[in-house]
C-alpha cells in the first residue's frame, strides 16, 4: 500500500513537472506591420508570439500644439485616437509573456515607437523584462541572431526623433494658423515640405522666364559599298559648327554638295565602365522613377512588401534588406555570398577582391545598402512568385547589387571624320570588348552600354553622298522636377533623410500645392501663392541651407553630441518673434483672392466671382450658398470664333475647348499658357510635351512655324 502511494506521488510529481514545462510563458515580439509579424512568427516557432503595433500608438495630439515651450520643449504624448484598444491588447499580451522584445524598425521612428511601447507596457507590468532587438533583413538567420542579442533602447536616437517631431510641430502649428488667417482656411505648411515646394516653384519661374532660341543641325547619309550610314556635321571652317537659322545650313549644303567626301581619319578610344554601388533609398527611388516609371511612394510601398516577406515555396521570405538607408555599405556575410555565387555562375567576371564602396559624408550609415537577402533567388527564378511590379523592382535591386561586385566593362569606340572642303562630318560606333558586370544587367542596361555598329570604312576612302538632312531645333529650358529629380536635389542639398523623400512629395500632392503632369511636378496657383508668402516673410526658414543645417543638428543629437532642447531653443525663439510680427503686420490676402468679374451667373443672374481653390482659380456665383454654380476660368480666346477656351473633361481625359461648343468645335489637348500669344499669328501659345523634347512652348496654330509647332 505504501509502495503504491509512493508510486502515485512520483507519477503526480512527474505530471506536475511536465505541466509546468507546457505552460512556460512565451516571449512576446512586437513589430510594426502585420505582414512582418506573420513572417517572423514562422521563423521563431511556438515559443514566441509576434504582434504588430501598426506604427505609432502614442504620439502628439493633432488638436493642439502640445509642446511646453517654457519647459525645455517637453512634448505631451497621448494614445493615438482609435489605437487605445490595440495598446491595451499588447499590454495584456505582455502580461501573459515571460519577456517582451521590441522589434520596430531600426531607425529614429522605430526607436521612438519602441520607447513609447516600453513605457506603456512597463506601466502595467513593472518587473517584466523588456528589451530592444533590431535587424537589417527579415531572414531566419538575421531574426534569430537579433533575438539572441537583445539590447537597450537607444536614448540618443529617441531624442533625435523627439527633436524632429517637436521641430516640425513648432513650424507647422505656427505657420499653418497664419496661413488660415491671412490666406485661406485649411492650408498648412511644413518644415521640409515648404523647402521642397520652394524648389519646385523656383524651377517653374525659370521655365516661365525661358525664351527658346532656334538652332539647326546638319546630318548627311553616306554610302560605302551597299552600306548606308549617317554622320553629323561637327566643324565648319575649322570651328565648331553653329547653325543658328535655316540659311546657315543651306549655305553649307550649297558649298559642299558637289565636293568629294573623304575619310580623313579614324580614332580609336577605349573606355572603362565601372559598376555602380548598390542602392541607397534615394538612388532606388530615382532609378525606379527613370526606368520603371514608379512614383517615390509606389517604390517605397513595393520595397516594403519585398522587405516584409513574400511567399516563396510556401513560406514567407524577406527578399531585400531594409529599404530606408543612405549607406552603400555591405556586410561581410553578404559579400561572401555574392562572391560565391559569382564564382559559380560568372567566374571570369569575379574580381580578385571584393569591391568596397564609400558612403557620402552626410550618410548616417545605420543600415546596409539595399540588397537581396539571398542572391540565389534570381529574378527569373522567383518571377512567378511576385506581382509584375514586385518583380521589376526586385530585378533592379538584384541586378544593381550583383553587378556591383563584378569586374568593369571595356568598350571601344571608333570615330571616323569625313571631310569635304572645310566641312567635317563624324560617325561613331561602339563595341563592347569585355562585358564584365554588363552580363547581369537587363532592366538596368543603359544605352551607352550597348553596341552601335561602325561603318566599314578606312582612312583615305571616298564615300558617296546620298542626301543631306538639316533639322530645326529650339533650345530647351530647365526641365520640371520629376519624382527622381526632386529626390536627387533634396539629397544633394542635405534636405530630409531616406525616410522623408517619398512622404514629402506625397504631402505636396495631397495638399494640392503641386500636381503631377506627364510625370513632372507642377506647382498649382495655390502652391505658388503659399510659396511666395513663406519666402517673403520666412525666407530663412524655408531655405535649403537652413533645413540641411537642422538635419545635421538632428544627426548630432542622435550621435549624443548635442542636447536636443538646445537645438530647438536656438531655432524657436527668433522664429516665434518673427511669426508674431508677421501676424500683426501682414495684411490679409483673403479679400484680394476673390476678384469681381463682369460675368453673370446663368442660373440666378448674380455676378460671378473669381476664387482660388485647391487646384487653381475658378468662377463661383457671388450668391453662394444659395446658388452653388461654378465654372472654369477662361484660359485663352478661341482662334475660330473668339469664344473662351476653358478646361474640359471627356472619357476621363482632360482637354481644352471652346465654350461655344457644339457650334464651335475647336479643342486641344495641350495646356494653354495664360496671357501668352504668338507674336507671329496671334493665336495662343500652349505647353506641349513629348518624351523626346520634354515640355516646351509652341503656337497652337498648325499653319504657324513659331517655336516648331506642328500639332
The H or E element spanning position 94 is helix 84-95
Q: Does some domain include residue 511?
A: yes
Selected catalytic residue, list 43, 307, 322, 501: 322
Grid look-up 539572441 returns: 148
Give the model's confidence band at 503: pLDDT under 50 very low, under 70 low, under 90 confident, else very high: very high
Q: Are residues 400 and 288 in the same domain?
A: yes
Work out the angle between the directed axes of helices 544-558 and 191-209 (0-180°, nearest 10). 150
- pLDDT tens digits, one per residue of 527-570: 998 899 899 999 988 999 999 999 999 999 999 999 999 999 99
Q: Are residues 205 and 220 in the same domain?
A: no
- pLDDT tens digits, one per residue of 37-56: 888 998 999 999 999 999 89
- pLDDT tens digits, one per residue of 198-217: 999 999 999 988 888 899 99
Q: Are residues 65 and 143 in the same domain?
A: yes
Q: Are residues 452 and 541 in the same domain?
A: no
The H or E element spanning position 200 is helix 191-209
pLDDT, mean of residues 613-636: 82
Q: Does some domain include residue 8?
A: no
Q: Does some domain include residue 706?
A: no
Q: Does some domain include residue 12?
A: no
pLDDT at 231: 97
pLDDT, mean of residues 308-334: 90
Q: Does some domain include residue 255?
A: yes
Q: Does some domain include residue 553?
A: yes
CATH number of the domain that residue 315 is part of: 1.10.290.10
Q: Is the peptide bond preceding residue 160 cis, with omega within 30 degrees of 0?
A: no
In percent, the amount of the chain with pLDDT more than 70 equals 92
How far from 214 is each of 246, 475, 673, CA to CA, in Å? 9, 7, 20
pLDDT at 12: 46
pLDDT at 27: 95
Q: Are residues 30 and 122 in the same domain?
A: yes
Q: Does some domain include residue 5?
A: no
Residue 657 · residue 646 · CB < 8 Å: yes
Q: Are residues 243 and 255 in the same domain?
A: yes
pLDDT, mean of residues 611-631: 81
How far from 115 is each of 111, 386, 562, CA to CA, in Å? 6, 35, 20
Top pLDDT among 593 and 194 is at 194
Give the model's confidence band at 691: pLDDT under 50 very low, under 70 low, under 90 confident, else very high: low
Q: Are residues 50 and 145 in the same domain?
A: yes
Averaged confidence pLDDT in the chain? 89
Q: Are residues 374 and 423 in the same domain?
A: no
Distance CA(628)–CA(651), nearest Å, equals: 25
- Choose one of 563, 585, 607: the last residue of a domain: 585
Number of domains in the chain: 5
Record the cell numbers describing residue 420, joined without a space: 569635304
CATH number of the domain that residue 49 is part of: 3.40.50.140
Residue 272 · residue 410 · CB < 8 Å: yes
Please indicate whether residue 322 is annotated as part of the active site.
yes
- Choose one of 551, 585, 619: the last residue of a domain: 585
Please give the residue range of the domain that contains residue 251: 214-274+409-474
Q: Are residues 34 and 132 in the same domain?
A: yes
Q: Are residues 637 and 556 in the same domain?
A: no
Residue 135 · residue 146 · CB < 8 Å: yes
CATH number of the domain that residue 542 is part of: 1.10.460.10
Distance CA(499)–CA(109), nearest Å, equals: 9
Q: Does some domain include residue 52?
A: yes
- Choose one of 474, 495, 521: the last residue of a domain: 474
Distance CA(419)–CA(118), nearest Å, equals: 78
Q: Are residues 218 and 206 in the same domain?
A: no
- Whole-prediction pTM: 0.80
pLDDT at 363: 59
Q: Are residues 391 and 296 in the same domain?
A: yes
Amino acid at each position: 500500500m505504501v509502495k503504491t502511494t509512493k508510486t502515485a506521488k512520483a507519477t503526480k510529481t512527474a505530471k506536475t513537472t511536465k505541466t509546468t514545462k507546457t505552460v512556460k510563458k512565451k516571449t512576446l515580439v512586437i513589430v510594426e506591420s502585420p505582414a512582418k509579424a506573420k513572417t517572423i512568427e514562422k521563423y521563431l516557432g511556438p515559443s514566441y508570439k509576434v504582434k504588430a503595433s501598426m506604427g505609432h500608438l502614442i504620439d502628439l495630439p493633432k488638436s493642439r500644439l502640445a509642446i511646453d515651450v517654457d519647459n525645455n520643449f517637453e512634448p505631451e504624448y497621448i494614445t493615438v485616437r482609435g489605437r487605445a484598444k490595440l495598446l491595451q491588447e499588447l499590454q495584456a499580451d505582455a502580461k501573459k509573456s515571460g519577456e517582451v522584445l521590441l522589434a520596430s524598425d531600426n531607425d529614429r521612428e522605430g526607436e521612438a515607437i519602441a520607447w513609447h511601447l516600453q513605457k506603456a507596457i512597463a506601466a502595467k507590468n513593472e518587473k517584466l523584462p523588456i528589451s530592444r532587438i533590431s535587424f537589417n533583413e527579415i531572414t531566419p538567420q538575421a531574426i534569430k541572431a537579433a533575438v539572441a542579442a537583445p539590447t537597450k533602447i537607444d536614448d540618443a536616437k529617441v531624442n533625435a526623433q523627439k527633436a524632429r517631431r517637436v521641430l516640425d510641430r513648432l513650424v507647422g502649428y505656427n505657420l499653418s494658423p497664419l496661413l488660415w488667417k491671412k490666406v485661406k482656411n485649411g492650408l498648412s505648411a511644413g518644415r521640409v515640405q515648404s523647402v521642397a515646394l520652394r524648389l519646385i516653384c523656383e524651377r517653374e519661374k525659370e521655365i516661365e522666364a525661358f525664351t527658346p532660341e532656334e538652332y539647326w543641325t546638319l546630318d548627311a547619309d553616306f554610302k560605302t559599298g551597299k552600306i548606308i550610314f549617317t554622320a553629323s556635321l561637327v566643324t565648319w571652317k575649322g570651328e565648331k559648327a553653329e547653325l543658328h537659322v535655316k540659311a546657315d545650313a543651306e549655305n553649307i549644303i550649297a558649298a559642299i554638295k558637289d565636293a568629294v567626301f573623304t575619310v580623313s581619319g579614324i580614332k580609336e578610344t577605349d573606355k572603362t565602365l565601372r559598376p555602380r554601388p548598390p542602392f541607397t533609398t534615394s538612388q532606388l527611388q530615382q532609378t525606379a522613377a527613370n526606368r520603371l516609371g514608379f512614383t517615390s511612394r509606389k517604390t517605397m510601398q513595393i520595397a516594403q512588401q519585398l522587405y516584409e516577406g513574400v511567399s516563396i515555396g510556401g513560406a514567407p521570405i524577406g527578399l531585400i534588406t531594409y529599404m530606408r538607408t543612405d549607406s552603400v555599405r555591405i556586410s561581410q556575410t553578404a559579400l561572401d555570398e555574392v562572391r560565391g555565387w559569382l564564382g559559380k555562375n560568372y567566374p571570369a567576371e569575379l574580381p580578385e577582391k571584393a569591391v568596397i564602396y564609400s558612403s557620402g559624408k552626410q550618410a548616417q550609415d545605420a543600415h546596409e545598402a539595399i540588397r537581396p537577402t539571398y542572391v540565389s533567388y534570381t529574378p527569373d527564378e522567383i518571377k512567378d512568385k511576385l506581382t509584375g511590379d514586385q518583380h521589376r523592382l526586385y530585378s533592379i535591386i538584384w541586378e544593381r547589387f550583383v553587378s556591383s561586385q563584378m569586374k568593369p566593362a571595356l568598350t571601344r569606340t571608333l570615330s571616323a571624320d569625313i571631310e569635304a572642303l572645310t566641312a567635317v562630318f563624324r560617325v561613331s560606333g561602339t563595341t563592347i570588348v569585355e562585358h564584365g558586370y554588363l552580363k547581369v544587367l537587363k532592366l538596368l542596361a543603359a544605352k551607352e552600354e550597348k553596341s552601335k555598329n561602325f561603318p566599314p570604312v578606312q582612312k583615305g576612302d571616298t564615300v558617296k553622298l546620298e542626301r543631306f538632312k538639316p533639322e530645326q531645333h529650339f533650345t530647351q529650358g530647365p526641365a520640371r522636377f520629376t519624382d527622381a529629380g526632386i529626390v536627387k536635389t533634396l539629397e544633394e542639398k542635405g534636405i530630409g533623410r531616406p525616410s522623408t523623400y517619398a512622404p514629402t512629395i506625397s504631402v505636396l500632392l495631397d495638399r494640392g500645392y503641386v500636381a503631377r503632369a506627364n510625370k513632372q511636378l507642377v506647382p498649382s496657383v495655390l502652391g505658388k501663392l503659399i510659396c511666395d508668402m513663406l519666402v517673403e516673410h520666412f525666407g530663412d526658414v524655408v531655405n535649403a541651407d537652413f533645413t540641411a543645417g537642422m538635419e545635421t543638428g538632428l544627426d548630432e543629437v542622435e550621435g549624443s553630441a548635442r542636447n536636443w532642447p538646445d537645438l530647438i531653443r536656438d531655432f524657436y525663439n527668433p522664429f516665434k518673434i518673427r511669426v508674431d510680427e508677421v501676424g500683426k503686420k501682414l495684411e490679409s490676402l483673403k479679400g484680394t483672392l476673390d476678384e469681381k468679374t463682369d460675368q453673370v451667373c446663368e442660373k440666378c443672374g448674380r455676378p460671378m466671382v473669381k476664387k482660388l481653390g485647391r487646384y487653381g482659380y475658378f468662377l463661383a456665383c457671388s450668391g453662394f450658398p444659395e446658388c452653388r454654380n461654378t465654372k472654369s476660368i477662361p484660359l485663352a480666346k478661341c482662334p475660330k470664333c473668339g469664344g473662351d477656351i476653358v478646361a474640359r473633361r471627356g472619357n476621363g481625359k482632360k482637354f481644352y475647348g471652346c465654350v461655344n461648343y457644339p457650334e464651335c468645335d475647336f479643342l486641344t489637348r495641350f495646356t494653354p499658357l495664360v496671357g501668352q500669344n504668338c507674336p507671329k499669328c496671334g493665336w495662343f501659345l500652349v505647353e506641349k510635351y513629348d518624351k523626346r523634347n520634354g515640355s516646351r512652348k509652341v503656337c497652337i496654330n498648325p499653319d504657324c512655324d513659331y517655336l516648331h509647332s506642328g500639332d
